[in-house]
C-alpha cells in the first residue's frame, strides 16, 4: 500500500517549503494549502482566517463539484476554479498528474491573472516533487 501524501514526511516537508516560498513571492497571498483529492491537509500556511483541515475538506468538495459540472457540460476536465469575493479570491487547481490540489486565497491587491499564474507555477513545481 502506498503512503498517502499527508502521511509522507518528505512530501509534507516539500509542500510546506513551497508554500513558504510562494508567500515570499506574493504579498497578496493570504492563505494557501496543498490537500489530497479526498480532503486531507498535506501542508498549509499558518492562518487565522480558517481552520486548515476543515478548509481542506471544503476545497476537495469544491474540486469534485467543479469536475462534476465540467463532466456534465462535456467541456473536458476542469483546469482551475476561482471564487471571487468582495475582499479577495480563491484560486484552486490540481497538482498536474497527481491526486493533490493547491488552493490559495489572495487579497484584492493582486490581479486574478497574476494570482492564477503564481498558483499554476507552484502546483507544477509540486508535480516535480511528487511526480506526475
Partner 1 sequence: MGAGMTTAIKALSEIEVVSTEANNSERDVVDKPTTTVALDYGEIVLSNDEKIRMYGIPGQRRFDFMWAILKTRAEGMVLLVNNDAENPIAEMLAFVEDFRELCYKGGVVVGVSRSEIAPQPTTGEFARALAEVHPELTVPIFTLDPRSKDQMQMALLTLIVNLEMRETFGEAGVQQA
> What does the binding site for partner 1 look like in residue numbers (CB under 8 A)?
1, 4-6, 36-40, 53-54, 56-58, 60-65, 67-68, 72, 99
Whether residue 95 contacts residue 120, with contact meaning beta carbons closer than 8 Å, is answered with no
Residue with Cβ nearer partner 1 (65 or 117): 65
Residue with Cβ nearer partner 1 (13 or 109): 13
H or E, element range at 43: strand 41-44
Residue with Cβ nearer partner 1 (49 or 99): 99
Q: Compute the least distance from the CB of residue 94 to partner 1, in Å.
A: 11
d(CA 107, CA 44): 17
Residue with Cβ nearer partner 1 (73 or 113): 73
DSSP letters along 67-129, please?
HHHHHHTT--S--EEEEEETTEEEEEEE-TTSSEEEEEEE-TTS-HHHHHHHHHHHHHHHHHH
Q: Compute the least distance from the CB of residue 30 to partner 1, in Å.
A: 20
**How is the beta sheet containing 100-106 ordered, strand by strand?**
41-44, 29-36, 100-106, 88-94, 80-85
Q: Compute the least distance from the CB of residue 25 to partner 1, in Å.
A: 29
Q: Compute the least distance from the CB of residue 113 to partner 1, in Å.
A: 28
Amino acid at each position: 500500500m502506498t503512503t498517502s501524501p499527508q502521511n509522507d514526511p518528505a512530501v509534507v516537508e516539500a509542500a510546506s517549503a513551497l508554500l513558504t516560498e510562494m508567500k515570499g513571492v506574493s504579498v497578496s497571498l493570504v492563505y494557501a494549502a496543498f490537500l489530497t483529492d479526498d480532503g486531507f491537509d498535506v501542508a498549509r500556511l499558518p492562518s487565522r482566517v480558517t481552520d486548515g483541515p476543515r478548509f481542506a475538506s471544503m476545497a476537495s468538495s469544491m474540486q469534485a463539484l467543479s469536475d462534476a459540472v465540467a463532466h456534465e457540460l462535456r467541456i473536458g476536465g476542469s483546469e482551475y476554479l476561482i471564487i471571487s469575493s468582495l475582499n479577495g479570491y480563491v484560486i484552486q487547481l490540481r497538482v498536474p498528474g497527481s491526486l493533490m490540489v493547491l488552493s490559495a486565497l489572495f487579497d484584492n491587491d493582486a490581479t486574478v491573472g497574476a494570482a492564477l499564474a503564481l498558483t499554476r507555477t507552484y502546483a507544477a513545481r509540486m508535480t516535480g516533487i511528487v511526480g506526475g
